[in-house]
Structure 1
Amino acid sequence: MPSPADEFLADVLPRQNAAERAIHNGDAGPRTALWSKADPVSLFGAWLPIRTGWADVSAAFRRVAAHFSDSREYRFEVVAAGTSGDLAYTIGFEHNTVSVDGRPKTYTLRVTHVYRREDGEWKIVHRHGDRPPDEPGPKEILTAAHSR
């Protein structure tokens, strides 16, 4: 019998992976569909400053999506995950090969997601993403893309 964490991952990860591939192809719609519209929600993004509240978070997703296209690879490497009642989390690495402002880039982000079960469905309520210490940061990636 699968554990609650295994059931959670089997439900959430396929939809979340598809949504992340979509945003890396310039479409923020599937990602916004996975998120709770009920505050509090928060985004500590690797690309933008901290955002709180659904209006700011959803606007940030549209801004980020506008920079991405031609996703060639997206993979989420789960390091840890768990559930407790109506709350859950994932911690891992996002590995991306994508075009940023028209230039091909490969990078990795460390990410943490917090989920809340709403009406029987898991919704994301928080995302924190940053670069691992040995990876170039998003500013460096965007700066390199614009300097060519």
Structure 2
Amino acid sequence: MPTQTEAFLADMLPRQTAAERAIHDGDPEPRAALWSQADPVSLFGAWLPIRTGWAEVGEAFKRVAAQFADSSDYRFEVVAAGASGDLAYTIGFEHNTVSINGRPTTYTLRATHVYRRENGEWKIVHRHADRPPDEPGTGETLTVTHSR
């Protein structure tokens, strides 16, 4: 019988990987569908200012997706994960080959996610991503509007 963590990962990771591939191909909807729309939710994006609340987080997904295309290799390398009751987390590296604003690039991000089970389904409630200290910059940045 799988542990709570194994069952969580078997359920969530394939759906999350598919959603990340979609947003990196310009479609934010699969990612949005995996997120809780019940506050509190928060996004500490790699290229974005902090976003809190579903209205800000959902809008950030749309802006980010508009700048990505042609994801040819997205992988999430899990370093640590845990699940207990209705809360779970993942920590890992996101490896991606994609076009940002029309320019092909490959990069790695450190990513931490927190999940909450709502009505029997896992939903993401927090994401924090940034470049590892030893990851060379690609020279690419997303166009962001700072509202804070």
TM-score, structure 1 normalization:
0.93
Matches within 5 A, 1:38-117: 38-117=38-117
Tell me the alpha carbon deviations over residues 14-54 of structure 1, each in whole angstroms, 9 at most, x when there is no partner. Answer: 00000000000000000000000000000000010000000
8 A Cα contact 1:114 1:126, kept in partner:
yes
Tell me the residue number matched to 1:141: 140
8 A Cα contact 1:47 1:64, kept in partner:
no
Matched pairs, number: 142
Q: How far apart in 2 are the matches of 1:95 and 1:59?
A: 24
Q: How far apart in 1 are the matches of 2:11 and 2:18?
A: 12
Tell me the residue number matched to 1:7: 7
Task: Name the aligned partner's letter for residue 70 of structure 1.
Answer: D
Q: How far apart in 2 are the matches of 1:5 and 1:29?
A: 26
Report which of the two has the higher share of helix: 1
Q: Aligned with 1:113: secondary structure?
A: strand
% same residue = 77
Task: Name the aligned partner's letter for residue 16 of structure 2.
Answer: Q
Tell me the residue number matched to 1:146: none
Tell me the alpha carbon deviations over residues 43-92 of structure 1, each in whole angstroms, 9 at most, x when there is no partner. Answer: 00001000000000000000100110000000000000001110000000
Tell me the residue number matched to 1:129: 129
8 A Cα contact 1:44 1:51, kept in partner:
yes
Task: Name the aligned partner's letter for residue 71 of structure 2.
Answer: S
TM-score, structure 2 normalization:
0.93
Q: How far apart in 2 are the matches of 1:40 and 1:63?
A: 21
Tell me the residue number matched to 1:16: 16
Task: Please identify runs of 4+ aligned residues in structure 1 that moved more than 4 A.
Answer: none
Task: Name the aligned partner's letter for residue 87 of structure 1.
Answer: L
Tell me the alpha carbon deviations over residues 121-147 of structure 1, each in whole angstroms, 9 at most, x when there is no partner. Answer: 000000000000011357x3228xxxx
Tell me the residue number matched to 1:36: 36
Q: Aligned with 2:140: secondary structure?
A: helix
Which sections of structure 2, spanning at least 5 residues, go unmatched? 143-148
